[in-house]
Structure 1
Amino acid sequence: MSQFAIFIYQDPAYFETTPPEGWAAVVETHNTFTKQIPELGGSLTGGAALAPTTTATTIKDGTVTDGPFADTKEALLGYYVVEARDLDHAVEIAKLCPAPSGGVEVRPIVDPSTSPF
């Protein structure tokens, strides 16, 4: 099985206006998602929610600035790492990942010991 990252991109404003009970509902949808991964024949190997983009520090060309690099509506707010048979299997799993105000991106994780990159 190969490893794939599922990146969750959402509008940060969605969570800025979400009441505490709404946050609990979001957490529950992610708990449901993580339980579905083994049911689909994959496995969860990692993941995390990220702090708001306002806490980001960006380094470009050696210059350090506060805040995210890009000013976009959607930002990377979390990720999962899953083991799946292939990209199609990882996409099947990722389609279940909650991202109510955005979407998800799936990328293979490169094994540096075997990668030509």
Structure 2
Amino acid sequence: MQFMLMINEDESPYAGEGGAALLEATLAGHMKLAEDLVAAGVPFSGERLKPAAMATTIRWDNGAATLHDGPFAETHEELGGFYIIDVASLDEALEWAKRIPVPKGGIEVRPVWPMEG
């Protein structure tokens, strides 16, 4: 069963004093997680996203589309990246999600709804 592990984090710690070192350590943690997934034989994919300030959101209101700068929600946490893993259960997905390095934020774990056909 596939699960998406969405990394929602506050980007501000990376901008402050020590931010570059924190980013380097966080990226190293992601590389270690990827190595561990491979070693465990867990099929996965994932990508890092550019900062939220580079996002554009399309919103619809009764069929009319408007463009907005920035992420879709007003929050301090932004979608920073994701993993899609293929594991046997939600419990296993949660165990992998707990290993994702996030200095400040959270991980949303959601089953993937496969497309039919």
Are the counterparts in 2 of residues 3 and 109 from structure 1 also a CA contact under 8 Å? yes
Shift in Å, 1:23: 2.4
For residues 51-89 of structure 1, give each alpha carbon's deviation from its aligned partner in whole angstroms, at most 9, with x where no partner exists.
111111011111111111212011111101111011111
Farther-moved stretch of structure 1 (21-30 vs 61-70): 21-30
Counterparts of residues 79-94 of structure 1 (less than 5 Å): 79-94=82-97
1:97 aligned to which of 87, 90, 100: 100
- Correspondence 1:108 to 2:107: no
- Which runs of 5 or more structure 1 residues have no equivalent in the other structure? none
Give the Cα–Cα distance (whole angstroms) in 2 for the partners of residues 39 and 96 of structure 1: 15
Structure 2: distance between partners of 1:108 and 1:38: 20
Moved more, 85-94 or 14-23: 14-23
The CA distance in 2 between the partners of 1:94 and 1:39, in whole Å, is 16
The answer as to 2:42 corresponding to 1:42 is yes
CA contact (8 A) 2:3 2:111 kept: yes
Task: Provide the alpha-carbon RMSD of the alignment.
Answer: 1.7
Q: Is the 8 A contact 1:7 1:105 kept in 2?
A: yes
Counterpart-to-counterpart distance in 2, 1:59 and 1:85: 35
Scaled by the length of structure 2, what TM-score is found? 0.85
Match of residue 12 from structure 1: 11
Aligned match for 2:74, one of 64, 71, 74: 71
Say which SS state the counterpart of residue 4 (structure 1) adopts: strand
TM-score, L = length of structure 1: 0.85
The amino acid across from 2:23 in the alignment is: W
- Aligned pairs, how many? 112
Mind listing any 5+ residue stretches in structure 2 that lack a counterpart?
Answer: none
Give the share of equivalent positions with the same residue, in percent.
35
